[in-house]
């Protein structure tokens, strides 16, 4: 149960830590871009999406992990909490690419 709570809280905290004002320092990938590349990223639409996604991830992993923990067993609850983000992060990456107008290998 402790792992479920800690991981869920981490996702929720990340949602509130990254803002448009501090994205240059805290947002992975964005913080290594040149100024020219940053201008081509629509950070104003990306940050609200980033926040919604991580809030949803934190809340849903807590609810899902807790329900599985109590209705099935602890082993499956922990497995859900670990693998659930691995399943939905590809959606986050795919959807987040719409805010990035830079050209490159994966664009």
Residue-by-residue DSSP string for 58-73: HHHHHHHHHHHHHHT-
The pLDDT of residue 107: 44
Residues 79 and 71: beta-carbon distance below 8 Å: no
Mean pLDDT of the chain: 87
Reported as a pLDDT band with limits 50, 70 and 90, residue 102 is: low
How confident is the model over 85-98, as pLDDT tens digits? 999 999 998 888 77
CA 69/CA 58 separation, integer angstroms: 16
35-72 pLDDT tens trace:
888 888 888 888 999 999 999 999 999 999 999 999 99
Q: For residues 85 and 64, is the Cβ–Cβ distance under 8 A?
A: no
Distance between CA atoms of 50 and 52, rounded to whole angstroms?
6
């Amino acid at each position: 149960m402790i792992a479920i709570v800690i991981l869920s809280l981490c996702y929720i905290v990340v949602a509130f830590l990254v803002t448009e004002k501090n994205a240059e320092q805290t947002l992975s990938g964005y913080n290594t871009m040149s100024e020219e590349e940053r201008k081509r990223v629509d950070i104003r639409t990306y940050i609200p999406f980033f926040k919604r996604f991580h809030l949803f991830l934190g809340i849903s992993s807590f609810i899902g992990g807790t329900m599985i923990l109590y209705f099935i067993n602890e082993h499956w609850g922990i497995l859900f909490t670990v693998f659930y983000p691995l399943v939905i992060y590809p959606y986050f990456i795919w959807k987040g690419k719409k805010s990035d107008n830079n050209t490159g290998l994966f664009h």
